[in-house]
Amino acid sequence: MTIPPSGCPAHTAPGRVVPLSEITASASLPDTYDRLREVWGPVARAELEPGVNAWLVTGHQEVLKLVRDEHIFSRDARNWKDWQNGVVRPDSGLGPMMFYRDNVIGADGPEHRRLRRPLDDALACVDQRQMRRAVERTCRERIAAFRHHGQADLVSEYSQSVALLALAEMSGLNPQEGQELLAALAKLFGSAEDAQEGNRRFESILERLIHARQAAPKEDLASFLVRHDDLRSDAEVLQSLVVLISAGQQTLSAWISRTLWLMLTDARFESRLRGGRLGVDEALDDVLWRDPPMTHMPARYALIDTELGGQQIARGDALILGLAAANSDPRIHPEGVEREIGNRSHLGWSAGQHRCPGETPARLIARTAVEQALHGLPGITLTGPVSTAPSPWMRHLASLPVQFTPPGSPTA
């Protein structure tokens, strides 16, 4: 990556604008953000795709301003100048994460609050003990499918499916329907030809669930959502479920696999496996500080010409939330960026009106999944290098190869 040398004045910013995916893929995020800050200050220019630039906000207080002031910074991508002017093509790879969607994520103000209340209310009613038991069962079933092999890839064989199946069950789907949803999602994210079919299948499974709960409600998210006064149509109920599952699946999977990786490779956590000091919750927090599932969260769009972190932001500019960058901002770590055990003031969940509503169930699912893997796979060790899947937004592990003692072996 070419970042201009240090010492350049913050606002003149010589040198090329660095592609965001290069920043995301860098070996050391803190070093990369330090160099960006030297050149640009707390709000840097970054390239989203050739010819399309945005602001990457790397300062902690600047990210807070960005997410808290929706009168200046909108969540609605229809305010994005490059989209209005056709600079970003309709088939751009940026579309899935950045284009406007008629749901809670793309809304501002009272409309956002109306669509958000049902999610907060429904998630607050989740029965934690019941969910923990369901997640434990799911984890044991997944582990049973591969533990005789003595080796596994914990991303494709464990964290991805545990995350989706847990969210499916919380929504109201039974394990069989959860498996169908998993298959539909695999198509959706698989080859281009299958994507449409996968999407239709995904939505039709959830539509069937909505109709079933309208006829006979139970104690699950779908039943809660179909009865919520703020949702005005079946389509809004469907969108709420789609958002809950799709916003949760990738992030949860990433959190589980990163935390497992940390516990297997970092001496402080690794010793815990053999009776040491730090446990799963501390490892989960460490990941949210250092490598949060959403490294760079899209986006807010300036509604007026304004100033942020010393940069002149023009109306219609896109601004990316540098969540990992904000967590490493030296201004909030006057003593140095040391471990933040017990401190949860990171921005892994973002902040402001759109702050993630899924924190409580996410922690329960992730903690359970990590504990079950560590206990269910005796002698677990990492067997190879890990790499991250390329993306401007996330640094998800592409695989997590491990070996362990299979049942029935003399050392099991």
Q: Which residues contact 40 (CB under 8 A, 6 or more apart)?
A: 10, 13, 58, 311
Among 213, 272, 290, 354, binds ligand HEM (CB under 6 A): 354
> Residue 402: beta bridge partners?
152, 382
Measured distance CA(271)–CA(218) in Å, rounded: 43
11 burial (CB, 10 Å; 0-12 / 13-18 / 19+) is exposed
Alpha-carbon torsion 24, 279, 163, 130, what sign? negative
292 near ligand HEM (CB under 6 A): yes
Indicate the residue among 15 and 109 with the shorter CB distance to ligand HEM: 109
Cβ of residue 115: shortest distance to ligand HEM, in angstroms?
A: 8
Indicate the residue among 251 and 368 with the shorter CB distance to ligand HEM: 251
Measured distance CA(67)–CA(351) in Å, rounded: 6
Q: How many residues belong to the chain?
A: 412
Cβ of residue 117: shortest distance to ligand HEM, in angstroms?
A: 10
198 near ligand HEM (CB under 6 A): no
DSSP class per residue in 81-93: HHHHTTSS-TT-T
Indicate the residue among 39 and 313 with the shorter CB distance to ligand HEM: 313
By beta carbon distance, the residue nearest ligand HEM is 358
104 near ligand HEM (CB under 6 A): yes
244 near ligand HEM (CB under 6 A): yes
Going from the C-alpha of 181 to that of each of 1, 57, 132, the distances in angstroms are 39, 36, 20
350 near ligand HEM (CB under 6 A): yes
> In the range 108-127, which residues lie near ligand HEM by CB under 6 A?
116, 119
Indicate the residue among 147 and 293 with the shorter CB distance to ligand HEM: 293
Q: Which stretch binds ligand HEM (CB under 6 A): 33-41, 244-252, 276-284, 387-395?
A: 244-252
Q: With contact defined as beta carbons under 8 Å apart, do 142 and 402 qualify?
A: no
Interface residue list for ligand HEM (CB under 6 A)? 67, 104-105, 116, 119, 243-244, 247-248, 251-252, 255, 292-294, 297, 323, 348-350, 354-358, 361-362
